[in-house]
Structure 1
Amino acid sequence: MNRQSITAAAALLLLPLAVPGSLAHAATDDRSGPSVTRIITLDSAPAAQRSSPKERAAARHAVDDSQRELVDAAGHAGIPLTVHRHYRNVVNGLVVKVPAAQAGRLTALHGVASVSKPVVYEAPEKPTPVSADVLKKAVAQAGGTARSRADAPSGREVVTTTDLTGVPQAHRQGYTGKGVTVGIVDSGIAYDHPALGGGGFPNSKVLGGYDFADEDADPYDDQYGPAAGHGTHVAGIVAGDDEHIVGAAPDATLRSYRVFGTKNAATDDIIIAALDRAASDGVNVVNMSLGAKGERSSNVLSLAVDNLVASGTPTVVSVGNGYAGPFNAAAPAVANGAIAVGSTYSNRYPYLAFALDDGSTTPVPYQDSGRAPAAPATGSSPITPMASSCDPLPAGSLAGRIALIAPVTDPAESFNCRPLDLARTAEAAGAVGAIYHEPRTDPDTIPVSPCCGTTGIPLVAIRESDAKRILAAPAGIKLTWGAYAGSPLNADAAGLMDQSSSWGPGNELEFKPDIAAPGGYILSAMPKALNWYGVNSGTSMAAPHIAGVIALLLQAHPGLTPDQVRTTLQNTATPLAMTGDHKRGLQPVAQQGAGRVDAMAALASVSGGRPTATPSKLALGDLEGRQRIRRVTVHNPTDQAVTYRVGQSAAVSAAPPYTSSWQPVDTAGDARVHGVDRLTVAAHGSGTVTVHIEQPDRVPQGTLFGGWVEFTPVDAASPEIRVPYLGMAGDFDAVSAINPTFSAVNTTLDNPALRPGYFSFGRSVPITVDLTDASTANDEAWVMLSHGYPLLERMRLQVLDARGRVVATPYDASWVSRNSGAGTGMGFYSWDASLADGTPAPAGTYRLRFVFDKALADPQKAPGTETWTSPEVTLVR
């Protein structure tokens, strides 16, 4: 299918925008049954799409009128509803409660653009608290390392913004974000933090905001929920400034829009409410370190982002931490207007650590498991090795102790006694914490987060070499929390793309992410109840770095539009070498976007009026063996003509499967960009080149390829300009819907597989559902499936009788994203032996069939529909 730019061809998913206002409507008769929440958007434009304040004020009145008309129309149609929210600025819409039986009638009302259910956005991971003493050690060590250069930043700059993007050097030139206000849509901000104003609310740093999670005027950071401290940590990266840390834009001001509270998640109606308020408040930049996988770029939150950007507010969104290969970008990062940010490693790991009382001054670095409470910042406890068994221990046998655990080695027991099971066993025996080590790994590498579930005591992972040190010590050796063990990264990781950073493109081949920034192991602010400071990693930390850099650009040039901001960032970004093998080539564009931000180059571009190239990125779609022709224009605002050599640099390509098992393909000699090889642009003029981009030869269908069209000045006094491109070789529709990685990793399992029960793994075999045998629970047929196609327009599980007729459809869903995860993600789907009308299916022979309809498939090309049919299911009654 020929996909260069795909627009939504289906019902728009809508999200509610919560904006306090005077439009309140009394509920009509609501006695028609249980109510559901729906988000309604209207055809007429929101106020943010107007250019002048006067026009926006008039547009708000028009929005109010259109919403009153809708409520009146619902009343006349006999649809009882209660309006809970009105959105005026970034979406013209309402959030309503309506009887479930009546909800389907809303779409027929005059002026309705779409109706949707709220979408849940899970709370981001909270940072790990660190003590001020640990932070001082980190700052001292980082500062000592940095003093090797005359213009080196201080240690406090390095631990928060790193020394990779030129931000500290920008501060020395006077660019600090002064006069720019950044809106933080997150878990709130601890405005009493010394780095964030240090007083009440509002203060000189945090000018205002609102708590949409709890619906009150105080947006102080959540201290108890799953996202506790996240917003404060993000705010510190943007604009924090105290004796320990300094953010990217330390003189910028902030507004706090709290959307994550003590609950486990936020719904998009709350998030859109925050954006609507941000538009009304007139913030200059918005940061959103949040996201949900599997959403489309046409959903209502993405629509709200696009409208906010169209109103003149650059909006920065983290792309996600998927660690799952291509096509894993979150919404609303996939919104066309969003600046989607990926994460790079820092140039050093600021490991938290503990000290041992074995006479050595060398601390033991650790990583929190992410599946348990964070390790304490202070305190001491004895360590006791624990047998690799989940058999219950005597009550109190580990009271007050830290258990040292290792995984079970017996394959027969390893599934039922996993590392988290061992930690829970230790917890039941009174342990106050657990340390995990893996004897079978590299002795100098901290193992990955153990599986599975959660535990109520801190669980950290350490290197095997350090575990041996503990095991060799006398019994009762004690650890003391609160140490620090920073260490530099090697050349295959330092400053390069973090493997956990989610890949693009969007599910419909949108160019994502746009750019990358440091996000690995960033030290920043936390609420007082969480020790004032903490460490966290991921795209949540990379996005505020970009938001801060944008504040620097807007200080230098307040009139920049969002498009000009994106163009500047992408034109001046630094392409990154391949993570894990930096000599092989450049990391795929599908993960790094334009590359790592270069604050100094971007500032030089806007403050010095340097040339730029538009569009700043080229989304090519699937090429199907053909070439794409694109026009790129170089704009020269200077007083001198500039001549460029036009060329390209190709990145390493990524062949399917779309999991963490993606296959790198060296295609630098195959992906061809050609057209003119030289361009002269007159002073205060522009010049356009037509480039022809061909897909690489001899690569599998669905291979993602990319690179940069490069404009290299003949005169070295002018800067190089780069425009990244991203496309797919072959036909998107030819990519298999079924994930091949699952069976490649699990060689004894089939995918899909007909199985006799839930969570039953094995080969796909005929089964019998015997409803006459009351001694078994075998009353359903189950199919295990790992599907890897980025976006299915529709997915069904059908039941076929012996004659091949469809007699039931137990699963039928629209717009389904892949469940393959990093490679072995899967789900179970069942048939309960009923027919389509709910009556019992007669005894006999049946088969189950999956039908995968690929998103916006082209029936003239590769098959848009794939099917899989199971072995026989014998139903006995």
Structure 2
Amino acid sequence: MVRSALFVSLLATITGAIARGSGHTSKIVPGAYIFEFENDHDTAEFYKQLNGEGSTRMKFDYKLFKGVSVQLKDLSNHEDKAQKMAQLPAVKNMWPVTLIQAPNPKVEWVAGTNSLPALQSRDVSPTDPSNFPPHKMVQIDKLQAKGYTGKGVKVAVIDTGIDYTHPALGGCFGAGCLVSFGTDLVGDDYSGFNTPVPDNDPKDCAGHGSHVAGIIAAQKNPYGFTGGAPDVTLGAYRVFGCEGQAGNDVLIAAYNKAFEDGAQIITASIGGPSGWAEEPWAVAVARIVSAGVPCTVSAGNDGDHGLFYASTAANGKKVLAVASVDNENIPTVFSLSSYKIDSGADTKFGYVPASKGADGWKGVTKPVYALTLDTTIADDACSPLPDNTPDLSDHIVLVRRGSCTFVQKAQNVAAKGGKYLLYYNTIAGALSVDVSTVPQITAAGMVEDSTGATWIAAIKDGKTVTLSMVDLNEATKQIQFSNNKATGGALSTYTSWGPTWEMDVKPQISSPGGNILSTYPVALGGYATLSGTSMACPLTAAAVALVAQARSNFDPTLLENLLATTANPQLFNDGAKFYDFLAPVAQQGGGLIQAYDAAFATTLLSPSSLSFNDTDHFVSKRQITLKNTSKNRVTYKIGHVPTDTFYTLANSSGYAAPFPNDAVASHASVRLSQQQVTVPAGRSITIDVFPTPPRGVDAKRLGLWSGYITVNGTDGSHLSVPYQGLTGSLRKQQVLFPEDSWISNSTDTKLNPVANGTVFTIPGPGNAGPTDILPALAVNLALGTRIVRADLVLLSAPPHGTKIKTKKFFDTTSIGQPSGSPLLWQSRGPTSISWSGELTDNKFAPPGTYKVVFHALRIFGNEKKKEDWYVSESPAFTIKYA
């Protein structure tokens, strides 16, 4: 068997590697490997070679993936053992087991532990789920009105499990239940590093999976909504323990298990920055899509990192990556209490309690003290309160939201004795605050702007406002939807941007993910409002179910094309305001999905997007195919709507700029082979698309240009195909600069550099533990790379009598690579290898002074060519063994 150089590079472990990025941490499990077999025969030699020296983590006896993941026992010799096993004829591929962080959506609100309180409604009828705003945004309400509810469709949810005991999630698990199939692949105590202990009960103990499940299929409930496809049957595939991470071996197994259990759609709101379609989990998901099952995966919550920060497995070929848009109507669930002015009648009002801690409202009846009577103040309580401020301990202190953090305001209130704190909002609605770091605050929460203004008006008149608070778990709830004028319908600022490092269009589509009300485990409160691409993804899965039901067709390519080309592109919004140009394709794909239009489209456009690549690999012509499946002849006008060009790199810098990226009002032009065509019923036509990149764009900053080919028919159809290209060369762009490597402490999560020449006294060979302070060999990548190689150069004379064999990698002569090298499929940003002194040949380096020489392969580079590697040398450091 001939193996590529990249495959050979995979044979080294990546122990201790950390890819950092906005909450996503990808680590390697020491001594754990995935082995994919050519077939399920001829594996006896593999197990003979294993010879009891390792335990099985996961077995892959699947149609699309056959193999095993193992945990080798001898961590001082695991690389050598893995290399020998990888060379066996039965082994097709070998990868280290990497860990994906549990999803990290923003928790906006969680109900009390009394999960089904009495509920009043305002601005929404709890008996009419068709008024649910996210459904109206994507036309799910229109499909449900026509009777499409996903009946008979099997949707697998790969996540933290599902609390199937929840009344709105069916109340049971198994045949005849809403959650009718699935399994727990890991067990409660699984952390990612330990061996999974599967069982047959996929009940959720973390919360995320239950929220996702409710977005898809929640049944009628007191909060007045249902899932997007409430009559589907759900499969729960639990891949996380109650805490911790998930191995890519578990994720690969879960996808294949769901596929073989007959899931017709598989969804996962999981991921981490990569941008490489060759990453093994992405490869496994792409195979399932190719086998005919649509797979939706969240695009990621790293929007603050800007362009080229695609997430795996969403970056897989034909895997449907879903971006998030903000809800047009933000739900707020208020806990009702009462107030009175002087000795007047009690009046109901609603508050949103603090998200954690500071929840001691039970039985509190106290007068309101407003720090200022100015309801327009921007910085209320942002500075220490005046010396003449009275003791606030026997009041409920009212503070306006704005300017500084909630914690700063709480600290200043606490400094004057304040224990009870209510913020009033600057806009309609309210949100949950976290002041748990201010222990003096006993109870906190927020009321809406109009409530705060009413109280202050009374206080201005010299009256006393007294609040009688009701505890969160005892209060009647009231739901309100507030019009989101600032960002409603806009791409969420947190949604991750593409494209991939090979210029594939990612994400392909967008869906509501900001401020989404759904179910939550009963033990954790029953209902919650969360924000993230984690929420956009399952709503898209529900839309896929409805569209597939309406068309009686589950073909992934057809569904992707339909959803992307009938979507509505949205205007760009930087989180503060809308602009007069469309958001770039790298942020929103085709735009906000329109499920009804996709379900009944008679004009089919393909493909779902066009990529013209970068300047070096510029594609001068692409084609779109237009097919008229109606019974009538249709005439189409074909046009072009460009959007602004966005720069990847900061000005005069080789490093990526954070969101919002600089935009330049320079647009690509597009020539079409035909601008108007008449297509008979049942016929199709192909149209050539010739782009001209925009002028006046600084190629050194990697300007991403994009837009939409528009198709408008006399039958009323309105469709578009997103396109993108890049002015500049990814291949020529430096992915690693000489100064971007250093040494840190392995226990320092911020990777701060230590002083040049720092001496590390580390445990003897083979004895290092996770809490020991080791040298962290750190490198900061300006852009992504498939391979980062680290070589250790001994700067001091070796101990007397020590024989050292040196190795050479181009111009670097070293004693070898540290265990943990090379790093593979890396996104940009800092990463590190915690080094215990072990080398990849399972030997240990002698004590002495070293430097590390990092080599990073350029994008589109050839690893056999010296000129395709960028080099950085770290400062010197010394190791001694205890």
1:283 aligns to 2:248 (yes or no)? no
* 1:190-269 equivalence runs, <5 A: 190-199=163-172, 201-214=174-187, 215-222=198-205, 227-228=206-207, 230-243=208-221, 244-269=224-249
Which of 636, 642, 646 is the equivalent residue of 2:638? 646
2:720 is aligned, of 722, 745, 760, to 722
Among residues 297, 316, 320, which one is paired with 2:300 in the alignment? Answer: 320
SS in structure 2 opposite 1:646? strand
Q: 2:253 — aligned with what?
A: 273
Aligned to 1:167: 140
Corresponding residue for residue 570 of structure 1: 564
| Structure-2 change in CA distance of 1:754 and 1:502 (3 Å) | same
The 8 Å contact of residues 160 and 522 in structure 1, kept in 2 or not, is answered as no
Aligned to 1:536: 530
Select the residue among 845, 868, 880 that pairs with 1:838: 845
SS at structure 1 position matched to 2:724: strand
What is aligned with 2:67?
93
The answer as to 2:521 corresponding to 1:527 is yes
Does the aligned pair in 1 maintain the 2:732–2:858 contact within 8 Å? no
Structure 1 CA distance for aligned equivalents of residues 124 and 862 of structure 2: 55
Q: Which residue of 2 aligns with 1:342?
A: 323
1:375–1:603 CA distance, 2 compared to 1 (3 A): farther
The offset of 1:548, in angstroms, is 0.8
Higher helix share: 1
Q: Give 1:344-743 correspondences, 5 Å limit.
A: 344-353=325-334, 359=340, 480=470, 481=472, 486=480, 488-580=482-574, 581-605=577-601, 610-624=602-616, 626-657=618-649, 658-667=656-665, 669-700=667-698, 701=700, 702-713=702-713, 715=714, 717-737=715-735
Structure 1 residue 869, shift from structure 2 partner: 5.9
Deviates more, 1:374-383 or 1:696-705: 374-383
Aligned amino acid, residue 66 of structure 2: N
2:563 partner SS: helix
Deviations 1:755-785 (A, max 9, x none): 999979999999565899xxxxxx9999986
Cα deviations across residues 483-505 of structure 1 (Å, max 9, x unaligned)? 65745345441111111111111
Shift of 1:136: 3.9
Tell me what 2:768 maps to: none
Q: Contact 1:388 / 1:406 at 8 angstroms: preserved in 2?
A: no
1:764 touches 1:871 (CA, 8 Å); kept in 2?
no
Residue 516 of structure 1 and its aligned partner are, at CA, apart by: 0.8
SS in 1 for 2:573: coil
- Quick one: which amino acid aligns to residue 857 of structure 1? G
For 1:862 and 1:366, locate their aligned partners in 2 and report how far apart those are by CA, in whole Å. 60
Q: Confirm or deny: 8 A CA contact 1:13 1:298 kept in the other structure.
A: no
CA distance in 1, matches of 2:409, 2:793: 42
Distance 1:506 1:367 in 2: 41
CA deviations on 1:374-404 (whole Å, 9 max, x unpaired) are 96998869899999999xxxxxx99999999
Q: Distance in 2 between matches of 1:84 and 1:419?
A: 45
Compare the two structures and name the one with the higher strand fraction. Answer: 2
CA drift at 1:839: 3.8
Q: CA deviation at 1:169?
A: 1.6
Which residue in the other structure is 1:853 paired with? Answer: 857
* Corresponding residue SS for 1:563: helix
Pairs aligned (count):
767
Superposed CA offset, 1:119-156 (max 9, x none): 2122224764325678944x542349xxxxxxxxx753
Per-residue CA distance 1:86-111 (angstroms, 9 max, x = gap): 32133122123435431221210103
Distance in 2 separating the partners of 1:469 and 1:828: 55
For each residue in 1:415-456, what CA deviation from the matched residue of structure 2 results, as whole angstroms up to 9, or x when unmatched?
A: xxx9889999999x9999988999xxx899999998999999
CA distance in 2, matches of 1:268, 1:848: 29
Distance, in Å, in 2 between the alignment partners of 1:771 and 1:12 is 29
Higher alpha-carbon deviation: 561-570 or 697-706:
697-706
Taking the aligned partners of 1:36 and 1:111, their CA distance within structure 2 comes to 20
In the alignment, the residues of structure 2 paired with residue 358 and residue 108 of structure 1 have an alpha-carbon distance, to the nearest angstrom, of 75
1:522-557 deviations in whole A, cap 9, x for unaligned?
111223223332221111111111111111122212
Shift, 1:164, TM fit: 0.8
Distance (Å, rounded) in 2 between the aligned partners of 1:122 and 1:757 = 19
CA distance 1:378–1:712, change in 2 (3 Å): farther
Classify the secondary structure of the residue corresponding to 1:277: helix
CA distance in 2, matches of 1:453, 1:791: 39
In structure 2, distance between residues paired with 1:667 and 1:815 = 37
Instruction: Give the structure-1-normalised TM-score.
Output: 0.73
* Cα pair 1:351 1:365 within 8 Å, conserved: no
Amino acid aligned to 1:679:
V
Whichever residue aligns with residue 686 of structure 1, its letter is S
* Residue in 2 that maps onto 1:141: 123
Match of 1:17 in 2: none
**Aligned equivalents of 1:433, 1:179: Cα separation in 2:** 52
Provide the C-alpha distance between the structure 1 equivalents of 2:874 and 2:436, rounded to a whole number of angstroms: 30
Match of 1:776? none
* 1:48-87 equivalent positions in 2, closer than 5 A: 63=40, 66=41, 69-75=42-48, 80-87=53-60
Residue in structure 2 matched with residue 333 of structure 1 by the alignment: 314
Distance 1:594 1:841 in 2: 56
| Percent of aligned pairs sharing the same letter | 24
Superposed CA deviations along residues 801-851 of structure 1, whole A, max 9, x for unmatched, are: 69997667778542263464xxxxx56889999999734547xxx987654
Q: Are the aligned partners of 1:625 and 1:729 in contact in 2 as well (CA < 8 Å)?
A: no
Please tell me whether the aligned partners of residues 388 and 405 of structure 1 are also in contact (alpha carbons under 8 angstroms).
no
Q: 1:94 and 1:248 mapped to 2: Cα distance? A: 37
Distance 1:682 1:674, change over 3 A: same
**CA distance 1:112–1:587, shift in 2 (3 Å):** same
Are 1:815 and 2:824 counterparts? yes
Q: CA deviation at 1:519?
A: 1.1
Give, in angstroms, the shift of residue 242 of structure 1. 0.9
Do the aligned partners of 1:768 and 1:875 also contact (CA within 8 Å) in 2?
no
Distance 1:374 1:335, change over 3 A: farther
Closer, same or farther: CA 625–264 of 1 in aligned 2, 3 Å: closer
The answer to whether the Cα contact below 8 Å between 1:656 and 1:663 also exists between their aligned partners in 2 is yes
CA contact (8 A) 1:206 1:253 kept: yes
Q: Residues 183 and 477 (structure 1 numbering): CA distance in 2 closer, same or farther, change over 3 Å?
A: same
1:347 and 1:90 mapped to 2: Cα distance? 41
- Which residue of 2 is the match for residue 187 of structure 1? 160
Q: Which sections of structure 1, spanning at least 5 residues, go unmatched?
A: 1-6, 15-33, 45-62, 145-153, 391-396, 741-749, 773-778, 821-825
Q: Secondary structure at the match of 2:637?
A: strand
* Residues 794, 812 of structure 1: 8 Å contact kept: yes
Whether 1:294 aligns to 2:292 is: no
What's the offset of the Cα at 1:520?
Answer: 1.4
Query: In structure 1, how many angstroms separate the alpha carbons of the residues matched to 2:138 and 2:719?
Result: 17
TM-superposed CA distance for 1:653, in Å, is 2.6
Using the TM superposition, give the Cα deviation of residue 584 of structure 1 relative to its aligned residue in structure 2, in angstroms.
2.1
